[in-house]
């Protein structure tokens, strides 16, 4: 079967060389029983590739089961994957087969595999290495013959560094990697996808298909598309349903596109393998540190100036510097960065010294910054500001609502 025939069969649209390469790898690996790890950003269409692999393999007549590991609660995922015996836990009124037992002789697709708990990762590693598993509440070892295809939009090497993913499991899953390119790396396909979606929604809602003028088409092609194909499809559907006129201009397109098309905080660039990476935590830490950086630098300059002048306040000590010291004393006077200034008082010693014209001896002590505490503090402030509304707080912090929810649980924030 050619690449074009595969595209036609599975509804894949595009002529990008990166996309063709991913399809070709899936085609080549399908006849084998090798484990495959599919990586790519959210919304790129990773779920199509396990289907290609399964239907082009000798297992095509066996079961194909897709499991979203991120959607299964931690307490029940072992039961879902490996099954359980009657009475093994509260609510286990009868024995149940797990997905690995049901899919014996077929293919199992583990989506969002990086969200899997550590204990479950260890059990999955055993299945991959020996084909053996044990049901929850049982001591009997069972065998299964299952082809495993996994996918994730997380930067797995970074997850390994943070201790969230087992390194041995990563290398066992990553026998054959398939990288699904983001939409911005296959710009020639954007307008093709738009036309396909527009035609589909025209037939679905029984209305004329929308058309773009030249400027609107250019805007569509050059947009960042952080949500990739899924975002493009959603916006096409919105325009098809809401707009009365069928000729769409660039101004109309802009009204449907989010104002911030690209992350506003500095983040590490994706690696050559195209793994998306979970940038949200780094963005949050950058936001905290950059907010502190400027004021801390100004404060250090003032302290250095005092030291160079034999710890005496000179006549050039401007009132705005006194205000800065007072502000920093209130905002930065934490266990991480504490100013020990002359004597302990409500008003900073520098400010009192200026008011009373008294020399002051200043010692600056900088302790190690705790990034986790800074992150927790920022989350608490955002939640307080938005009265506990997680969606608004996540938007202000520049992270997903799901990441915020995980962080709230991790820090025990109420």
Among 181, 197, 216, the domain-final residue is 181
The b-or-e profile of 173-198 (16+ CB within 10 A means b, else e) is: beebebbbbbbbbbeebbeebbbbbb
Query: What average pLDDT does range 386-410 have in this prediction?
Result: 83
What pLDDT digit, counting tens, does each position of 124-159 carry?
A: 999 999 999 999 999 999 999 999 999 999 999 999
Instruction: Provide the pLDDT for residue 368.
Output: 46
Helix axes 228-242, 190-205, angle to 10 degrees: 40
135 falls within a domain: yes
CB of 47 closer than 8 Å to CB of 111: yes
Among 131, 166, 181, the domain-final residue is 181
Mean of the per-residue pLDDT values for the chain? Answer: 82
Using the predicted structure, report yes or no on whether residue 335 has a pLDDT greater than 50: no
DSSP, res 69: G
How many angstroms separate the CA atoms of 211 and 217, rounded?
Answer: 9
- Clarify whether residues 70 and 149 are in a common domain: yes
267 falls within a domain: no
What pLDDT digit, counting tens, does each position of 11-65 carry?
A: 999 999 999 999 999 999 999 999 999 999 999 999 999 999 999 999 999 999 9
- Clarify whether residues 59 and 140 are in a common domain: yes
CA 303 to mean position of chain CA atoms: 41
Using the predicted structure, report yes or no on whether residue 341 has a pLDDT greater than 60: no
**Reported confidence tier of residue 376, pLDDT bands at 50, 70, 90:** confident
Instruction: Provide the pLDDT for residue 404.
Output: 83
CB of 133 closer than 8 Å to CB of 127: yes
CB of 142 closer than 8 Å to CB of 99: no
Among 161, 181, 201, the domain-final residue is 181
Residue that wins the pLDDT comparison between 250 and 261: 250
Per-residue tokens: 301:
């300059």
Count Cα neighbours of 240 within 13 Å in the Cβ-side half-sphere.
Answer: 23
Count of beta carbons in the 10 Å neighbourhood of residue 60 = 13
DSSP, res 183: G
69 falls within a domain: yes
What pLDDT digit, counting tens, does each position of 278-332 carry?
A: 445 555 666 666 666 666 766 666 665 655 565 555 545 455 555 555 555 555 4
68 falls within a domain: yes
- Clarify whether residues 97 and 238 are in a common domain: no
- Clarify whether residues 162 and 202 are in a common domain: no
315 falls within a domain: yes
User: Taking Cα atoms as reference points, which of 213, 194, 210, 191 lies closest to residue 202?
Assistant: 210
Residue that wins the pLDDT comparison between 407 and 341: 407
The b-or-e profile of 226-260 (16+ CB within 10 A means b, else e) is: bbbbebbbebbbebbeeeeeeebebebbeeeeeee
- Clarify whether residues 99 and 114 are in a common domain: yes
- Clarify whether residues 96 and 151 are in a common domain: yes
- Clarify whether residues 327 and 211 are in a common domain: no
Identify the domain containing residue 381 by its residue range: 372-411
Instruction: Provide the pLDDT for residue 304.
Output: 59
How many angstroms separate the CA atoms of 6 and 23, rounded?
Answer: 8
**CATH code of residue 205:** 1.10.8.60
- Clarify whether residues 65 and 170 are in a common domain: yes
- Number of structural domains in the chain: 4
CB of 231 closer than 8 Å to CB of 225: yes
- Clarify whether residues 166 and 60 are in a common domain: yes
- Clarify whether residues 164 and 188 are in a common domain: no
For the chain, what percent of residues have pLDDT higher than 90?
Answer: 60
Instruction: Provide the pLDDT for residue 215.
Output: 95
264 falls within a domain: no
Instruction: Provide the pLDDT for residue 90.
Output: 84
Instruction: Provide the pLDDT for residue 365.
Output: 41
Instruction: Provide the pLDDT for residue 274.
Output: 42
307 falls within a domain: yes
User: Taking Cα atoms as reference points, which of 150, 262, 193 lies closest to residue 19?
Assistant: 193
CB of 54 closer than 8 Å to CB of 107: yes
Instruction: Provide the pLDDT for residue 389.
Output: 86
Q: Which residue has the tokens 């009868």?
A: 94
306 falls within a domain: yes
> Which region among 95-99, 182-186, 224-228, 381-385 has the lowest average model confidence (pLDDT)?
381-385
Instruction: Provide the pLDDT for residue 30.
Output: 97
**CATH code of residue 60:** 3.40.50.300
> Which region among 77-86, 182-191, 193-202, 362-371 has the lowest average model confidence (pLDDT)?
362-371
Instruction: Provide the pLDDT for residue 401.
Output: 82
Using the predicted structure, report yes or no on whether residue 270 has a pLDDT greater than 60: no
Instruction: Provide the pLDDT for residue 88.
Output: 86
Instruction: Provide the pLDDT for residue 224.
Output: 93
Query: What average pLDDT does range 216-240 have in this prediction?
Result: 95
**CATH code of residue 394:** 1.10.10
Instruction: Provide the pLDDT for residue 307.
Output: 56
Using the predicted structure, report yes or no on whether residue 402 has a pLDDT greater than 90: no
- Clarify whether residues 290 and 242 are in a common domain: no
- Clarify whether residues 214 and 86 are in a common domain: no
Query: What average pLDDT does range 250-279 have in this prediction?
Result: 60
Instruction: Provide the pLDDT for residue 139.
Output: 92
The 3-state DSSP class for residue 130 equals helix
Count of beta carbons in the 10 Å neighbourhood of residue 45 = 20
């Amino acid at each position: 079967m050619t690449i074009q025939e595969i595209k036609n069969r599975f509804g894949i649209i595009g002529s990008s060389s990166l996309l063709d390469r991913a399809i070709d790898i899936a085609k080549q690996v399908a006849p084998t029983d090798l484990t495959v790890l599919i990586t790519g950003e959210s919304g790129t269409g990773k779920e199509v590739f396990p289907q290609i692999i399964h239907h082009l393999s000798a297992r095509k007549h066996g079961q194909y089961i897709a499991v979203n590991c991120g959607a299964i609660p931690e307490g029940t995922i072992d039961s879902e994957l490996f099954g359980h015996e009657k009475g093994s836990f509260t609510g286990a009124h009868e024995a149940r087969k797990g997905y690995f037992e049901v899919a014996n002789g077929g293919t199992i697709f583990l989506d969002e595999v990086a969200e899997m708990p550590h204990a479950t990762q260890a059990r999955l590693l055993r299945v991959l290495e020996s084909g053996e598993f044990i049901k929850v509440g049982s001591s009997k070892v069972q065998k299964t013959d299952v082809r495993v295809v996994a996918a994730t939009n997380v930067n797995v090497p970074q997850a390994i560094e943070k201790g969230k993913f087992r390194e041995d499991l990563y290398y066992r899953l990553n026998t054959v990697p398939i990288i699904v390119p983001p939409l911005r790396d296959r710009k020639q396909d954007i307008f093709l996808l738009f036309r396909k979606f527009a035609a589909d929604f025209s037939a679905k809602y029984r209305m004329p298909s929308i058309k773009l003028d030249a400027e609107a088409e250019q805007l569509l092609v050059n947009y960042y598309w952080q949500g990739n194909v899924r975002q493009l499809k959603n916006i096409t559907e919105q325009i098809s349903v809401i707009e009365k006129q069928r000729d769409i201009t660039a101004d109309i397109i802009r009204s449907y596109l989010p104002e911030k098309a690209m992350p506003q905080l500095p983040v590490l660039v994706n690696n050559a393998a195209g793994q998306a990476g979970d940038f949200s935590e780094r963005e949050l830490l950058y936001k905290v540190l950059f907010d502190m950086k400027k004021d801390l630098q100004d404060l250090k300059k003032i302290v250095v100036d005092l030291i160079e002048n034999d710890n005496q306040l000179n006549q050039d000590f401007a009132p705005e510097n006194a205000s800065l010291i007072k502000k920093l004393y209130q905002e930065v006077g934490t266990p991480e960065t504490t100013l020990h200034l002359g004597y302990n008082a409500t008003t900073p010693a520098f400010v009192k010294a200026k008011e009373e014209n008294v020399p002051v001896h200043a010692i600056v002590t900088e302790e190690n910054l705790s990034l986790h505490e800074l992150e927790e503090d920022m989350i608490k402030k955002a939640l307080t500001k938005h009265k506990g509304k997680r969606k608004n707080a996540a938007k202000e912090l520049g992270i997903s609502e799901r990441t915020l929810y995980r962080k709230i649980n991790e820090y025990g924030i109420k």
